[in-house]
Amino acid sequence: MPRMIASRNLRICTKDCMCLYVCPTGATDTETGQIDFKKCIGCGDCARSCPNSAICMIPLDYPHQQPKDAKVVDAVRGISRSKAVQEAIARNVAETTDDAGLRTLMSAVRRSDRLMGEDLIRETGFLLPQSGEVRRMLEAFVTDPPEGFPVEAARELLRTMRFNS
């Protein structure tokens, strides 16, 4: 049985109901609204009792990523680049056209390209939260942060997450 921890989705939690009564450690009763991970023992009672499905059980230990051969890596890179290029073209068209309909269409294409690119990278295992790729990405962003990047939050993730490579 993998070790788990509970996480509450604050957007759909309607507050002050079942999980407060079933938690054996009082971890659900926090002032911040989030579950106290230091008290959580991962029993899952809160998730099972929540009427809004607002609590997810998150594994603490993840399996290692499957190795990928060069063909897969090349294919993922190629498709990701093409999605990034398509996104840039759609953004450019949306920002320069006077046609409101075309602007709306290109905005949708831009978002779609971004989602497809992200899905592809995630589903091929390059953006698993525990992976070395994510660790290296966070380290790079902390060293040279893009504008608006939450450096302190990234430092906290690097300090607390259990990366497996």
CA distance 118 to 84: 10
Cβ-proximal residues to 157 (8 Å cutoff; 6+ apart), any chain: 138
Please select the residue that binds ligand SF4; options are 7, 34, 43, 157, rule is CB under 6 A: 43
* 143 burial type by CB count under 10 A (0-12 exposed, 13-18 middle, 19+ buried): exposed
Region near ligand SF4 per CB under 6 A, out of 16-24, 63-71, 146-154, 156-164: 16-24
Q: Quick check: 76 binds ligand SF4 (CB under 6 A)? A: no
Region near ligand SF4 per CB under 6 A, out of 43-51, 82-90, 136-144, 146-154: 43-51
- 3-class secondary structure, 142: helix
CA distance 10 to 147: 27
**Shortest Å distance, C-beta 63 to ligand SF4:** 22
Which residues contact ligand SF4 by CB under 6 A? 6, 8, 13-19, 22-25, 27-28, 35, 40-46, 50, 52, 54-55
